[in-house]
Chain A
Amino acid sequence: MPDQPSALDGVRVLDLTGEMGAYCTKLLADLGADVIKIEPPGGDPARNIGPFVGDEPGPDRALNFLNQNTSKRSVTLDLQDDADREKLRKLVPTADIVVEDFPRGYLDGLGLGYDVLTKLREDIILTSITGFGGTGPHKDYLAPDIVGVAMAGIMWLAGDPEDPPNLPFGNQGYFSASVQAAAGTTMALYHRDRTGEGQQVEVSMQEALLIAQETAMQAYDMTKGVRSRAGARGSLPFSIPGIGPFEASDGWIWGYVGTPGGAPWSELLKWMVDEGKAEDLEEEPYKSVANQLDLRFLTGLALDAEKRKEHLPTLKHIGEVFTRFCAGKPKWDLYEQGQGRRLLIGIVSTPEDLAKNPQLAARGYYQSIESSAGTIRYPGAPYQLSGTPWKATRPPQAGEHTAEVLE
């Protein structure tokens, strides 16, 4: 089969990002753009943040760095140095897009702000990713991931009420800012395709995440009620059998049994009966409650204190039997057999479960890439484009392409 084209073939990106914006330019690079990563002497500091391949630190061994810099080339330039800045200026006319995540105003201070860039290349697209954007009273605030996530209302919603608010794993603020920036940058590129006009793309990490508050903003706007973190129970008024996290014999699963879209609770009861684990749930009052346990029934309970008082002990017992059923089975069996019965059950995947997930394996999701650190397995494409396939190649060593690019 002949080599298929990539969607962003022929598009050149000057990549001035660090940890916050590197995933944006990775997305562009894996879509085929020629992304030239400009690294300071000594390399991007993100090369020093673990975990490392084999737990051995080294500039080409940091797993997060490797993942965020696939398919890029690397040029080392000291932006504090006049001669190096001049080299960067000479690259600008060859570029379509510049992406940066410096503190606001830093590029201007170097004589590389948007006004200067447009003089070097009139239709340049400049994408700036910062904690709070280029205007407003917080524009100069220090904004590591946790600051953006806290200010966007995301931590307020996450965690158990008895714990401090939770920070989502994995720099989700940086990540969301990068994904929004990739969408905005490609949109600006399309506008330039059609009109010849370049522009600035501005991403605030806080704004990038605000929509992920789900309904909290609208709930306050409409009813003045503040939605807060509620741990495993979520938005449910009381705990309900089959909904939430349950401990399996070797980990956890998450159920949403009885909600629309999946098989009803009666199917779950049948499963427990088939395995001889239903205990007394086939007797009354349990059986008739289990067989009508759906959202309508539960809404009825939430609205009617009398009915709730009558049924809560029954629900509690059903929940205990289901909890024992889960405790006796491995998580993968609960997940795959439950789904086989059309029950809304998900596995709470650990990284090991993700690495071994048969669905991801069957689709060839993980990619192996050779580098000086050996053969490394990477998560694959976030999306598949049939005519212009996603491709990831080895991340660069610091300054690996300095000579060939600046020549």
Chain B
Amino acid sequence: MAVKQALEGIKVADFSWFAAGPICAEAMGTHGATVVRVESESHMDGLRGVAPFPTGKTGYNVSGWYNNYNANKLNVTLNLNTDKGKELALRLVEWADVFITNITPRVIERWGLNYDDLKQEREDIIAVYQPMQGADGPHRDFLGFGAVLGPITGINHLTGFPSRAPSGLGTNYPDYVINPMHTLTAIMAALHHRNKTGRGQRIELSQLESVVASLAPAVMDYMANGRVATRSGNRLPHAAPHGAFPCQTIKIATPFGEADEARWCVIACFSDEQWSSLKSAIGNPDWADDRFETLAGRREHEDELEEKLGEWTIGQFPEDVMTTLQAAGVPSAVVQNARDLLDSDEHIRERDYYVYLDHPEAGRTAYDGPGFRLSKTPAEYRTAGCMLGEHNEQVCKEILGLSDEEIADLMVEQVLY
């Protein structure tokens, strides 16, 4: 069988929205699967209405946030609050190998899209549900999305400086890698199993449980030792220095004119050898005396260590700190921002990580590339973020087998809507 992409021939019915579901389905699409994204005017993906938008453009097809997770998909609008819409949804399930949704269990039930319903249409379906906290249990119907889920998972309590409120990572962090890629791992394992046995199954990823798995050491430390770990800034018990240090401020152009931008680097020493190399690289200053020779000593005098190191970095550009220290065998990096990543990071550019796609309404914009690279069946970005109802006719005719007349009726009845 000549297969150029790993998931060629695999069909995905994507009933998800926001990030955790769509990112997973997009990764399948970029590896060759045919993905049909189901939305409707009455149940539109909330990200369509949220910035960033290309300068001067508006409407629900141009959000950079939405489009980034919905490349390589066909989009069909099915109103699932109508009986005919539900019927067409089940026909799509009959076509699909994988069904995925992160919509709340209450609504999925109302739409008749539970595993038992789907199995009747397609015996070997792999049906994937990503509820916030699980499909059962006392908090099953608790509300949430990334911004509220993050705090519940514990990552806010554990990240940041102890003097501050637990503010989290500034993003809905679990939505973008942990939850979609855990899900994809489970789907691929299930497809492997189906290939071997002919059997499908139901996959449930409770978003809370998936993220708590990533915070295991802190939870286990409480369960084994009764210790409640808390925010400790950027320090680690087994490395010093270990943190972010201020560098020379630069002038940057912004949409509102020229502005100052504080720059930062990170420096980390996990061994006494790395410390010794760091010391030489910064010119063996007088302050770097015997007290700092061992990890225990550097930990004991860490406030002073950070202050003195900061007095050196503040005169440097972070790019120079990184180049100099990496050459000396000391882990160091630029605290990069999006401008660095798109404009200056030569490594990212040489590896062609970012992909530029042309979109009929949004124009040519940047998309995230793949999170893993397969040498013989690489990801391919064929089409930009799908527009609402963009492929109604194609999906209805080619996948659902409907005639022009039926399609027209469904539009009038606001089923294709």
Chain A positions near chain B (C-beta within 8 angstroms):
5, 7-8, 11, 27, 31, 49-51, 53-55, 63-64, 66-68, 132-133, 135-139, 141-144, 146-148, 150-160, 163-170, 172, 175-176, 179-184, 186-191, 193-195, 197, 199-204, 206-232, 234, 244-245, 247, 252-254, 256, 260-262, 339, 342-355, 358-360, 362-363, 365-366, 376-388
Contact = CB atoms under 8 A, between A and B. Distances in A.
A358 B255 CA distance: 48
Contacts of B157: 252, 348-351
B347 A138 contact: yes
Contact of B351 (A133, A167, A245, A377): A133
A401 B74 CA distance: 50
A353 B253 CA distance: 45
B161 A163 contact: yes
Nearest to B170: A157
A348 B157 CA distance: 6
Nearest to B310: A164
B374 A223 contact: no
Interface string B183-221: 111101111110111011111111011101111111111
A147 B331 contact: yes
A358 B168 CA distance: 23
Contacts of B96: none
Contacts of A220: 337-339, 342
Contacts of A160: 160-161, 164, 167
Contact of A226 (B246, B252, B375): B252
Given A155-B244, A179-B177, A187-B372, 11 more contacts: A133-B373, A137-B346, A137-B350, A152-B336, A155-B264, A163-B164, A194-B1, A218-B52, A344-B148, A351-B221, A355-B219
Scoring A51, A155, A167, A210 by chain B CB atoms within 10 A of each residue's CB, the highest score goes to: A167
B260 to A, nearest CB: 12
Contacts of B137: 358-359, 362-363
A223 B255 contact: yes
Contacts of B354: 217
Given A159-B170, A202-B373, A380-B209, A179 B228 contact: no
Interface string B129-162: 0000110111110111101111111111111110
A191 B377 contact: yes
A166 B372 contact: no
A245 B244 contact: no
A166 B152 contact: no
A187 B188 contact: yes
B223 interface: yes
A383 B102 CA distance: 13
Interface in B345-363: 345-348, 350-351, 353-354
Contacts of A382: 182, 186, 205, 209-210, 213
Contacts of A215: 50-52, 64-65
Contact of A348 (B7, B166, B191): B166
Pick the 5 closest A-B CB pairs, nearest first: A218-B64, A184-B372, A186-B188, A387-B201, A169-B158
A344 B141 CA distance: 12
A226 B338 contact: yes
B154 A376 contact: no
A228 B260 CA distance: 13
A46 B338 CA distance: 33
A284 to B, nearest CB: 30
A214 B68 CA distance: 10
Given A153-B341, A168-B155, A388 B201 contact: yes
B372 A203 contact: yes
B366 interface: yes
B234 A203 contact: no
B334 interface: yes
B243 A164 contact: yes
B333 A150 contact: yes
A146 B173 contact: no
Contacts of B336: 150-153, 156
A170 B217 contact: yes
B23 interface: yes
B234 A167 contact: yes
Contacts of B167: 159-160, 231-232, 234, 244-245
B36 interface: no
Contacts of A360: 208-209, 212
Contact of A339 (B139, B190, B270, B341): B139
B31 interface: yes
Contact of B372 (A139, A150, A208): A208
Contact of B229 (A208, A351, A353, A380): A351
Contacts of A132: 347
